[in-house]
Amino acid sequence: MKIEVLRNVQEHNNATADDIRALLAMKKVCMINMMAGAGAGKTSLLERMLPRLMPDLKCAVLEGDITTVYDAERIAALGVPVAQLQTEGSCHLDAWLVHDGLMKMPLDEVDVLFVENVGNLVCPAEFDIGEHSRLAVLSVMEGDDKPAKYPLLFTQATGVALSKCDLIAHTNFNIDRAIGDIRKVNNHAPIYQTGVNCTGDDELLAWIRAEHTKAVPTS
Amino acid sequence: MHEFSLAHSILEITLETAEANNATSVSEVQCTIGALRQVVPSLMDTAFEACCAGTMAEGAKLVITVEPVKVSCSKCNAVSEMQEMVYQCPKCESVEISMSGGTDMIITSLTIDQENGHED
């Protein structure tokens, strides 16, 4: 016999993501999920941003990687609380893994928690991890065709950082094409052109502060 | 390879629902999956088959209906289904579009055998 079900395939993951949202609300923490392909410069972006945010916003980082603690070591060197989430082969973070990571964080002493997802333009976008904001990062080294080729990640982004823009003269990256393709799938997320000495770094920092204020309005 | 995670989630809900309905086996699982979800059907079949091994859903067929992305054109006002992820209005070819839908991931129905019953 045929029986009607009508249940969301990801309902268990999403229920844990809801638990995470409740925990973050209680602890007054804004969580930003950074998603990008491998080598887009997520960790380098954090290394530039964290020292500039830390004077007035207490930050922490959950580092998602298939293996190694390399990225966590780079963040720890800045004196920022960090926990490494090793997926042991899986290509994305899910809500359970992030929930485990949160248990290792001093959440009472955190204002903004960055989650650096596993480097992958496909799978991380599929999983709600209870974040407030999704920051998509795309480096100019990867090619201007990526927003069109991997639309879900850009569709769901609340902010987009184009990274390594200081190197754009050495690439064939057409920034108008990339931004145009992002705009076809997402007409609201602000897009920042970041890189060493790029003005987008300042604008991205202002956006993160605004996301924190939005997520934790009473702070 | 998020297909394995998704296949595992589909199996969990399938088994929960099947057990609640006193099923002895599951022969088919119907899902609706959005076109934006980047699910590769052949990988999904392989993943689902592997996950189901040794359970009452072993050998069950996974039937996926793709939920299309809707394109609203701000030039000709047409609302159409997106054709093969081409980011333009299929009617007037304008790129001044907004997109909606295509992100569903729902188990819609199961076909089961029950104790004291027969599959129809």
Express each pLDDT in A16-56 by its tens digit: 999 999 999 999 999 999 999 999 999 999 999 999 999 89
How far is Cα B112 from Cα B120, in angstroms, rounded to an integer? 9
CA atoms within 13 A on the CB side of A62: 32
Q: Give A213 to chain B, closest Cα distance, Å.
A: 28
Cβ distance A97 to A118 under 8 Å?
no
**Measured between CA atoms, how close is B1 to chain A, in angstroms?**
7
Question: How many helices (DSSP H) and strands (DSSP E) are in chain A?
Answer: 8, 8
How far from the centroid of its chain's Cα atoms is residue A69's Cα?
18
- On chain B, the residues whose CB falls within 8 A of the CB of A3 are 17, 21, 109-112
- Taking contacts as CB-CB distances below 8 angstroms, the residues of chain A near B108 are 4-6
Which chain A residue has its CA at the smallest distance from B118's CA? A1
Whether the ipTM is more than 0.95: the answer is no
Looking only at the bridges linking them, the beta strands covering A30-36 and A133-139 are: parallel
Q: In this predicted model, what pLDDT tens digit does every residue of B39-79 receive, in sequence order? A: 888 899 999 999 999 999 999 999 999 999 998 999 999 99
A186: confidence class by pLDDT, cuts 50, 70, 90: confident
The predicted model scores a pTM of 0.87
Which of B38, B65, B70 best probes binding to A when mutated, by most A CB atoms within 10 angstroms? B38
Q: Does A148 touch chain B (CB under 8 A)?
A: yes
Helix (H, G, I), strand (E, B) or coil at B91: coil
Which of A4, A5, A97 best tests the B interface by mutation, with the highest count of B CBs <10 A? A5
Mean pLDDT of B87-104: 86
Alpha helices (H) in A137-174, listed in sequence order: 146-149, 151-155
User: Would the CB atoms of A184 and B106 count as touching at under 8 Å?
Assistant: no
pLDDT tier at B117, thresholds 50, 70, 90: low
Q: Which of A155, A161, A89 is nearest to A125 (CA)?
A: A155
Coil vs helix vs strand at B55: coil
Query: Mean per-residue pLDDT for B26-31?
Result: 97
Sign of CA dihedral A119, A187, A11, A7: negative
Report the mean per-residue pLDDT for chain A: 93
Chain B interface includes A66 (CB < 8 A): no
